[in-house]
Amino acid sequence: MLKKVLLLSASAGAGHVRAAQAIEKAFAQFGTVDDVRHVDVLHYTNKVFRHLYSKAYIDLVNKLPEVPGWMYDKLDKPWKNERRRLALDKLNTRPLVKLLREYQPDVIICTHFLPAEIVAWLRAKERLISRQAIVVTDFDVHAMWLVHHYEQYFVAIDEARAYMEELSIPPEKIAVSGIPIDPVFAEKKDKQEMRVKHGLEVDRTTILLSAGGFGVGSVEPLIDALKPLKARAQVVAICGRNEDLRRRLVTAAARSKPFDNILIKPIGYTHEMDEYMTASDLVLGKPGGLTTSEAMSKGLAFVIVDPIPGQEERNSDHLLEEGMAIRCNNLPTLSYKLGNLLDDRQRVARMQANSKRLGHPNAARDIVNRVMEFT
């Protein structure tokens, strides 16, 4: 019987933290583990390292996205750079190492590759006996996720499982769970009721535009590009923690008239994303792993715009291959491409069905079920 479970995430983007929070909620629903603790490992690093992992990364994504994209591809060489990377991580995570050795949980679940590597190293040195599960929070498995000491990998799709098997990861140690999302996304809710609840018109095509938990991306140009759209639509603009963006969009929305083709509904940081997604027909923006998984659980079609080079580019490929997305590479053509899609209701329905078919709304519960079997 498990007594102590430690969830390790990293606030380099919002997805890793949200995945850990989803698993934490699933454990709470089971109620059979005495102590489940969730830690953001960047709080256990030095200030410079923490800045590079969080704020500097967000700044690069917004200003020079080709740089993190180049780094992503350059470092994606299985088993090639692990010693140098581990040396850097060890140097900057001494407080984390201290926490792990003092707490000694039965199981550690990592939703970011940084702590997974530290845990594996401590186990190799026999300084830690905790079992380890690693939850990959994108559709592809980057080389930085690969470690040598673990009990289980949880991946998003079958292709990721096949890739890891080719790297000699034992098949019994790979589970295709999907990316863990808040268990609330598995609850069935009525689309029209959710529109009424959140002040949306019930008869308009509803487009959810998400800037992510940190408000990353160019939301205002996207909305401007939608204005020529001839279809009657409403845009639920999720601004995350970017309060300045929300205020600007509130001002823009106040200028809208009820007879306009495009209405804007700005939303700040919210715990009701499942309800906004239930109310929506499509999701527009960047295909981050967590947002994509949440939208798939609700059967939303995707309109991909300006994915971050690297992991989001690869996520885009999977969505396009599975027939649940279109991609707009030139913002001035967004209303044209989206208009053509909305004119073909059968195509929209097929995309939504493909999305729903590949969703894993119970991923967090399934991960907890498997972890509880550890002996």
Statement: residue 216 has pLDDT above 60: no
pLDDT above 90 covers a percentage of the chain that reads 65
pLDDT value at residue 204? 95
Statement: residue 366 has pLDDT above 90: yes
Residue 71 C-beta-side C-alpha neighbours within 13 Å:
9
Q: How confident is the model at residue 34 (pLDDT cuts 50, 70, 90)?
A: confident
Statement: residue 210 has pLDDT above 90: no
Statement: residue 212 has pLDDT above 90: no
Type of residue at 236: V
pLDDT, one tens digit per residue, over 128-169 is 999 999 999 999 999 999 999 999 999 999 999 999 999 999
Residue 241 or residue 303, greater confidence: 303
Place of tokens 């949440």: 294
Type of residue at 157: I
Question: Residues 6 or more apart from 22 whose CB is under 8 A from it?
Answer: 180, 181, 182, 183, 363, 364
Q: Quick one: DSSP state of residue 151?
A: S
Whole-angstrom Cα distance, residue 362 to residue 360?
A: 5
pLDDT value at residue 279? 98
Q: For residue 126, list its beta bridge partners.
A: none
Task: Note the Cα 239 to chain centre separation in Å.
Answer: 16
Inter-residue contact 331 to 353 (CB < 8 Å): no
Q: Quick one: DSSP state of residue 186?
A: G
Type of residue at 271: H
Q: Quick one: DSSP state of residue 11?
A: -
* DSSP line for 213-225: TTT-S-HHHHHHH
Record: fold of 4-181+362-371: Rossmann fold (3.40.50)
Q: How confident is the model at residue 85 (pLDDT cuts 50, 70, 90)?
A: low
pLDDT above 70 covers a percentage of the chain that reads 92
Residue 227 or residue 322, greater confidence: 322
Inter-residue contact 17 to 182 (CB < 8 Å): no
Residue 26 or residue 309, greater confidence: 26
What phi and psi, each to the nearest 5 degrees, are found at residue 107? -135, 140
Ranking 22-36, 38-52, 268-282, 304-318 by mean pLDDT, the lowest is 38-52
Q: How confident is the model at residue 110 (pLDDT cuts 50, 70, 90)?
A: very high
pTM, two decimal places: 0.91
Place of tokens 């808040």: 182
Whole-angstrom Cα distance, residue 131 to residue 342?
A: 49
Edge-to-edge strands of the sheet including 301-305?
262-267, 233-238, 205-210, 282-285, 301-305, 325-328
Record: fold of 184-357: Rossmann fold (3.40.50)
Q: How confident is the model at residue 254 (pLDDT cuts 50, 70, 90)?
A: confident
Residue 108 or residue 55, greater confidence: 108
323, burial (CB in 10 Å: exposed 0-12, middle 13-18, buried 19+): middle
Q: Quick one: DSSP state of residue 14?
A: S
Place of tokens 């899609």: 341
pLDDT value at residue 88? 65
Statement: residue 214 has pLDDT above 60: no
Whole-angstrom Cα distance, residue 177 to residue 19?
A: 12
Q: How does the average pLDDT of the chain come out, rounded?
A: 90
pLDDT value at residue 218? 72
pLDDT value at residue 252? 79
pLDDT value at residue 49? 78
pLDDT value at residue 215? 45
278, burial (CB in 10 Å: exposed 0-12, middle 13-18, buried 19+): buried
Arithmetic mean of pLDDT, 261-272 = 90
Ranking 80-84, 117-121, 350-354 by mean pLDDT, the lowest is 80-84
pLDDT, one tens digit per residue, over 327-339 is 998 999 999 999 9
pLDDT value at residue 321? 96
The domains of the chain are located at: 4-181+362-371, 184-357
Q: Do domains 4-181+362-371 and 184-357 have the same CATH topology?
A: yes
Q: How confident is the model at residue 46 (pLDDT cuts 50, 70, 90)?
A: confident
Q: Is the dihedral of CA 238, 240, 245, 247 positive or negative?
A: positive
Whole-angstrom Cα distance, residue 123 to residue 136?
A: 20
Whole-angstrom Cα distance, residue 189 to residue 197?
A: 12
Question: Residues 6 or more apart from 37 whose CB is under 8 A from it?
Answer: 4, 5, 6, 7, 103, 105
Helices (H), 255-297: 273-279, 289-297
- Residue 33: name the closest of 67, 6, 71 by CA: 6
Whole-angstrom Cα distance, residue 249 to residue 264?
A: 8
pLDDT value at residue 57? 67
77, burial (CB in 10 Å: exposed 0-12, middle 13-18, buried 19+): exposed
Arithmetic mean of pLDDT, 246-257 = 81
